[in-house]
Every structure is written in structure tokens, then in C-alpha cells.
Structure 1
Amino acid sequence: MDPRKSENEGNLDPDQSGLIYQMALDIGGSLAKLVYFTYDEDCAIEGKDGMSPEKAVAKSKGSKSCAVLRGKLNFKIFETSKINDCLEFIKSVKLRLGGCQRQENPGSQAIAVKATGGGAYKYTDLFKERLGINLDKEDEMDCLVAGANFLLKAVHQEAYTYMGGQKQFMDVDHNDLYPYLLVSIGSGVSMIKVEGDGKFERVSGTSIGGGTFWGLGKLLTKCKNFDELLELSYQGNNRVIDMLVGDIYGGTDYSKIGLSSTTIASSFGKVISNDKEIEDYKAEDIARSLLRMISNNIGQISYLNALRFGLKRIFFGGFFIRSHPFTMDTISVAVNFWSKGEAKALFLQHEGFLGAMGAFMSSDQHELKKLLENKAVHQQASSIKACAIAGDLHGDESIECCVYSV
């Protein structure tokens, strides 16, 4: 299956895609992320009988055989600057979501949806006025960590390494998961030392992140969106823009300190010595150099923080990565170089949805949470179908869905 295509492409049709049982949002500075669970009332629960999540949980209590609820965790993104697209999508599923909530709270017209990120505060009035939705706010860092912990424990092959064009999935030992460094690359970058469920500390960060790449890229090229800028970087040659060690040392390595001739000595440094205007440079070369600069910087700072706390595992998440091979390879090379091979960069299949997933799991109003957190159920069921995250940022396609059997 093409990872950029989803079996649920297009706006969700509630009549075709099952009941929207729970939804959560993570509204960041650049992107708004949604996670929502759909299940078909006709799906098999221990046979052929349809059953709601509440009934499935009730049936499984005190029983050695766990009930099975088949459904889908759906993931979708929108540009925050086009928040109206997000509102229109939620409006299209509002009746289903609202109907489910009102069944649990008779007489209540307000719909509460878990949300995190700065946009949960910025757009709270807009959601209430346009959709009648109360955004029930959760702490952003809490959600990032909770989402990462859940996905690493529940999703088979959630984590992987990527270097030299080779992707290798990693088996995560749940008993030896902590501590680790979580690097969340959104508009800016947060680096979080995670020591257990609910036990974490934000130890560092940098303002040079995805927003920097997108913002400078928009100024320096004619790209109109993030994906276009990423695609352009594929075609570029950063050596036209960047000053390399070989440029300084006459094409040779600086082997005494371990620098090859192709190591970047100064990002954008070659521009200084060229008598050219910006229009004389190719947009794809600028995009490539910009992506290389930011990815290298994030990789280096991440390793230095891991070294500071003696952490060997560094998990990278956030929509800056976008499963982009060149981005992942650059981060991996930086971590490998600075650690002298002792540390590895680990990436996540659901990289951009950690906060939204954490907000989703924070809800105490739904029995679904008990099903998803029940390890015995997971052991008896097929794993979530992991997938590469890729899709349209304009909100007219759904990102690849994951199938739960819980």
C-alpha cells in the first residue's frame, strides 16, 4: 500500500466510516492534529454481536476472555493558519460525536473534546461559537509524553532507525523503555527526559525547528506549503550553498580531528564568497541547505542533552520530520557523529501525533481508554497496524489510519 494513501481518503462520511466515539486535538503554531476513534456497530465482538465500547468493557470485567472491539484510530492534520478547514471537518462529524456524548450525558447540549497545544487556548472561543464544542485543555508536555509512552508500548514496530537509506524497525522492551530523551520537533523543539509514565522533565529546547524551516523557506523560495518545500529539497544540492571542509582545505579531509572533506563547515557559508544575488541561486539548493542546517543542529543539540543525562535512546517526533528520508538521515548522521556511534536516533511511525494521542488517552469520560490500556487485551489481539505518516497538509485527505483490535 502506498503510505501516502489512506483507505479513508477524503472527508469522513459518518454513515460510511462508523461511529465517531472519541476525538482529541493538538493545535500547534503550524499544524492542527486530530486523533479520533471510529467503530462499526456491526463489528464482531466475541462473535457476530455488535457492542458499544462501554458494553465491551462491562463484558470483559471479571472475565478471563477479553471482549474484542474492532475499530480504527484515525489521524488527520490541517494547517493552523487554515483552522476553518479543521472546523468544517469536525462539523461534518459533529452529529455523530455529539449524539454519542449526549447519550452519556442526557440533556447536555455542550460537547467536550480534549485538546492540547497553544491553539487550544487561542481558538477556544472559536470552537465554542462555531461548533458548540468546549475544548477541555490538557497540558502540552503531559500529552506529548503520554502519547509517546502509549505508542511505544502498544504499537508493534512503532520505533525505527534510518540511516543511509535503510529503515530498520526496533523491538522496544517495555521493561527497559525508560529513561529516554524525547525530542519533539514542531514549530520549535522541546527535549524531554522521560523516566516513566507521568515522570518527565523538559531539559532543553531550541527555537530553530519546523517553523524556522517553513518560515525561511517561504521567504527564500516560492514554496507555498511545507510539503512543497520538502519535495523541493529532494532535488537540491546543498554543496552549492554550504561551505565544506574541503572548500577550506583544498578538497582534502581534516583527518586529525575526524572531519571529512564533505563535512559542512558553515551552512550557507559559500554564499559569502560568491558575487551573486538570491535569484542567481536555485530554490532547490536553498531548500536542501536549509533542511540540512536545521536537521544537523537538532541532531547535535539532542545528543548533547542525551549525553548530559547519560541517555542512550533518543526518540524523535513531530511533523517537521514527516518521514522524510533526507531529514531522518541527516539527524541520524549528526547523532552518530557526535556520539561516535554510541547513540542512535530513533524515529516514530506516528511522529506528529504524540500530543493528540496523549490528549486522546487523557479522557476519563470514555470506557474506550480502559480497553486501549488493557495489556491483556493487547496481548490477545492483533497489534495496531503501523504505517508511515504522509499526507496532504490542506485537510482534504485523511492520513493513513491504524486498525485496533482490542
Structure 2
Amino acid sequence: MNNSIGIDAGGSLLKIAYEENGRLHFRKQPNSEMDGALQWLKIISLNKTIYLTGGKAGTIKANYFPEAKVVDEFSAVCEGSRYLKMKEAMSVSDPYILVNIGTGTSWFTIDGEQYERVLGSGIGGGTFMGLGKMFTEADAFSDLVSLAAEGDKGNVDLLVKDIYHPEKPPIHGELTASNFAKSQGITSSSPADKMASLNNMIAETLTLLTVQAASLHNIKQAVFIGSTLAGNQLLRENLETYCKMSGIDPVFLEHGEFSGAIGAMLT
């Protein structure tokens, strides 16, 4: 990989992976800063092969790196996840569900070197950003993540314990009976509460789809990757909690958001 640079150009972010002095390095830029990042890359990419993947790969090839090679996005992200699992000393011999939470979310079954995309959803980081801007005055991902961590979803969501109060509920009382269903609480709740509810709704929805995909293919492990998880500890905790409640073993790769860029380099 020493003579290769991988670029994953997604719907909102540009992810770059390259090797230098035997170590993998990573860089991430919003698409609004694409030109500056790619001009920098031109300087360091002399005598190196550029591998592109993602929705904007064709645009980058045409405008910046005409000699670059374009790699299928699904192949790249699956190969990258296998590589990172091995780097983190995890087994890749057992099948797993790969959940790539980007602007939207894709699900893959991976069994050895065989993979198949089995599901897709429009729920993902784009949902978090779009509704986040509607609920708050913040427009930076990190600010929305911080708000979600400070909020209380129970001020917005109707929880199981709310329905059964004052009786003891038959299932865990903190589970959501209906997202954003406290109509009176919606108007009085804080932006942080709304973001906590949104983060939780995304986690619940993605877990539900993950569990269904895992059950259909008789798989017990789900590997979560994608930029939406970067710095979003609350989303990770919610996914982990809901997966374990459903009998799924959740795995979070340290540099999972760069799986596509790494996989492109490995081609």
C-alpha cells in the first residue's frame, strides 16, 4: 500500500487513507473543502497511484486525478472492514453483518471474501444533520453531537414507563413507545432534548434493521462503521445497548469511517 492513496468521496465527506513510513494515516474533510484537500493531495501524491471510490469518485477523477483508478464502493468498504478487523486482532473467519452509517446506511453480509449488500436505508448521518439543523441553531456535526449528549430523550419521547405509570411495565421502562410523541413536551423541551431523541431514534431504527438482517442470514455479529459514529459516543452506546438486548454482538472499528478509503487502496 506504500505507493497507493485511497480516497472515499461520499455524499458529505472526503476520507483519505495513505501510508507513510510504514504507518497508515487518515484525513477527513467536508466536501465544501474538497478543493483544498485535493490540491494538497496532488503535492504528496507524486509517484503514487490514486484509488477512488464513493459517489463523487467520477467527479474527482475528471477534475483532479485523470489517471486515478475507480473502485466499486461496496467492494472497497467490505475489504476495508476486513482489513481493520484483522489489524485489531479480530477474527474474520466468522460471518458478520457490516453496517455502514454514512449519509444514509447500508448493510452487507460478509463471509470470508464473499460479501453481499442486503439492505439500505435513508436513515443515517444526513438525517442527523438535516433534522438537527431544524431542531437547533447549530449546523456543525460536533455541536449537534454535544447537544445530543446533554439532552434527555424522555422529555420528547413517549417511553414505555410513561404508558404504564404508575404500574410496573412488562418490558424495560426506558424503551421508546413512540418517538417524538410527547406533544406538550415538544414545545417546552430544549434543543438538546430534541437531539437526544433524534440520536436515539436513529439508533433504534438502525438496530431494528440490523437485527432483521442478522436473523435472516443467521449471523450473530454486527460491525458498525461510518463517519456518523465519529465522536458520537451516545449513538455508539445506544447501538451497543439495543444490539445486546437483541442478542447481537456489536463491534465498532477504531478507524471504521475510513474503511472505503482503505479498501480502495487494497485493490
Structure 1 residues 173 and 351, CA gap change in structure 2 (3 angstroms) = closer
For residue 265 of structure 2, give the secondary structure of its aligned residue in structure 1. helix
CA contact (8 A) 2:132 2:139 kept: no
Alpha-carbon contact 2:158-2:177 (below 8 Å) kept: yes
CA distance in 2, matches of 1:135, 1:286: 43
Q: Which residue of 2 aligns with 1:365?
A: none
- Measured in 2, the distance between the counterparts of 1:82 and 1:243 equals 40
Provide the C-alpha distance between the structure 2 equivalents of 1:156 and 1:315, rounded to a whole number of angstroms.
Answer: 13
Q: Deviation digits for residues 379-404 of structure 1, max 9, x if unmatched? A: xxxxxxxxxxxxxxxxxxxxxxxxxx
Q: Give the counterpart of 1:212 among 127, 132, 144.
A: 127
CA deviations 1:81-123 (Å, max 9, x no partner) are: 33223223314xx2x422x34xxxxxxxxxx510100010233
| Unaligned runs of at least 5 residues, structure 1 | 1-19, 40-70, 102-111, 158-171, 363-406
* RMSD, aligned α-carbons: 1.8
Q: Residues 78 and 85 of structure 1 are in contact (CA less than 8 Å); yes or no, is this contact kept in structure 2?
A: no
Structure-2 separation of matches of 1:261 and 1:252: 10
Question: What amino acid is the match of 1:267?
Answer: N
Q: Which runs of 5+ in 2 are unaligned?
A: none
TM-score, normalised with respect to structure 2: 0.93
Q: Does 1:81 align with 2:18?
A: no
Q: Distance in 2 between matches of 1:254 and 1:237?
A: 20
Q: Where in structure 2 are the equivalents of 1:233-312 lying within 5 Å?
A: 233-255=148-170, 259-270=171-182, 272-274=183-185, 277=187, 280-312=188-220
- Length, aligned pairs only: 266
State the partner residue of 1:136. Answer: 69
- Residue 90 of structure 1, aligned match among 25, 36, 41: 41
Matched residue, 1:30? 12
TM-score with structure 1 setting the length: 0.62
Counterpart position of 1:59: none
Paired residue for 2:88?
156
Bigger Cα Rg: 1
Q: CA deviation at 1:299?
A: 1.2
1:251: Cα distance to partner? 4.2
Query: Is the 8 Å Cα contact of residues 238 and 288 (structure 1) preserved in structure 2?
Result: yes
What pairs up with 1:329-344 in 2 under 5 angstroms?
329-339=237-247, 343-344=248-249
| 3-state SS in 2 of match to 1:229 | helix
Q: Read off the aligned partner of 2:173 and give its amino acid letter.
A: S
Q: Distance in 1 between matches of 2:207 and 2:26?
A: 27
Percent identity of paired positions between Structure 1 and Structure 2: 29
Separation (CA, whole Å) in 2 of partners of 1:316 and 1:78: 21
Cα distance change of structure 1 residues 32 and 240 upon mapping to structure 2, 3 Å threshold? same
User: Which secondary structure state, in structure 1, belongs to the residue aligned with residue 240 of structure 2?
Assistant: helix
Partner of 1:54: none
